[in-house]
Amino acid sequence: MKTIDDFNFKDKKALIRVDFNVPLDDSFEVTDTNRIEAAKPTIIKVLEDGGSAVLMSHLGRPGGEIDPDLSMEHIADTVSDIIGVKVKFVDDCVGKSAEDAVAGLRPGEVLLLENLRFHEGEKSGDADFAEQLSKLGEIYVNDAFGTAHRAHASTTVVASFFPDNKCFGYLLAKEIEAIEKVMDTGEKPVLAILGGAKVSSKITIIENILDKVDHLIIGGGMTYTFIKAKGGQIGDSICEDDKMDLAMDILKQAKNKNVEVHLPVDVLAADDFANDAETKVVDVDKIPDGWQGLDAGPRTLENFKETILKAKTILWNGPVGVFEMENFAKGTIAVGKAIDEATQNGAFSLVGGGDSVAAVKQFGFDDKVSYVSTGGGAMLESLEGKTLPGIAAIKGQ
């Protein structure tokens, strides 16, 4: 696996695919700079070697047409502030204006190209468009994990024009390493904590990781599909009735593979899906009609903590309660605290997938776990065992 450390960029122009698909407010100010900050080490490495950096990214979903509201120019000043170098901007990502801007780039300088998705060829993976992009650098660096699961021109096809001069940036290399630690090389016991609302959205992940893990904690809304399948009473809790057979099959597969499954034993139930609802702690399989489970209960959290503290490798994907409501966030916070403690004791912990990433950031755990993935869809497809086209393109697979 070639990384950016395998190259010296002195007097070279690096064409870097970054993921600067960041949120903007009504004044076109960047409201979350995490993705830009995550790309900084890769850009700095190129500049410190004595090279120049040509940055390409998409922003939003312009659909192959120019949309001034989604111009990369809006974020150029923020990128400049974060990197500490004045970033130049060019109003296209291919063609004469882009090529002229790159030709004038001197060592130590950074150029930001216009939104890739202003061209239809980006999403369609058009080879001619990818070839035009390839003229803008001598070494291709992919540092955009968030788009690595897309076979787009800038993430996959362009790599074929750099047969020997392509590599992973620091961010993408760290993402690959983190996933490999969980899936292949992690110290045992390996624990996966899967939460969220639906079994159906986690089926392929569960089936793929059963061969990799020793323990599986199931929390959140999908708990109730498993409990009802086992004959429990779940009241008005969320449930996928058509997935109950699948839930039982997962439990059977886990048993056959000596994976210990940990389901909640009690829950915080509410008489309404609202923060100010009446609540009570009940056994997970004895939830009364008119009540619904919205968070893990105290005995469950003790059990979960005990399992987490024994683990040496931990994957967390999905909250264990409706953490967006303060009264039902205690379970997710408790899981975060236990993972923090396990990490301090030497465990490797990876957090990935939309809601769990939002939760760790909201509750301040993002710097207390080993790694927080930057790519939701890409992370999930990796856990499902899929080969991501953006990664395969660099590895030459």
Annotated active-site residue in 286, 312, 337, 354: 354
pLDDT at residue 141, rounded to an integer:
98
What strands lie across the sheet with 313-317, from one edge to the other?
A: 260-262, 215-218, 190-194, 313-317, 348-351, 371-372
Mean pLDDT estimate for the chain:
94
Residue 181 to residues 6, 223, 337, Cα–Cα distance (Å)? 22, 27, 21
Annotated active-site residue in 17, 35, 123, 212: 35
371 and 178 in contact (C-beta within 8 Å)? Answer: yes
Task: Identify the DSSP state of 259.
Answer: P
pLDDT above 80 (res 353): no
Asked whether residue 106 is marked as a ligand-binding residue, the answer is no
Asked whether residue 355 is marked as a ligand-binding residue, the answer is yes
354 a catalytic residue:
yes
| Coil, strand or helix at 309 | helix
Total-model pTM: 0.86
Asked whether residue 19 is marked as a ligand-binding residue, the answer is yes
Q: 4-170 domain in CATH 3.40.50.1360?
A: no
198 a catalytic residue:
yes
pLDDT at residue 61, rounded to an integer:
93
Where in the sequence of the chain do the CATH 3.40.50.1260 domains occur?
4-170, 186-383
pLDDT above 90 (res 8): yes
Asked whether residue 202 is marked as a ligand-binding residue, the answer is yes
For residue range 175-209, list pLDDT tens digits in order: 999 988 988 888 999 999 999 888 888 888 898 89
Enter the CATH code of domain 186-383.
3.40.50.1260
Annotated active-site residue in 198, 230, 337, 368: 198
For residue range 40-61, list pLDDT tens digits in order: 999 999 999 999 999 999 999 9
377 a catalytic residue:
yes
Asked whether residue 353 is marked as a ligand-binding residue, the answer is yes
Does 148 or 88 have the greater pLDDT score?
A: 88
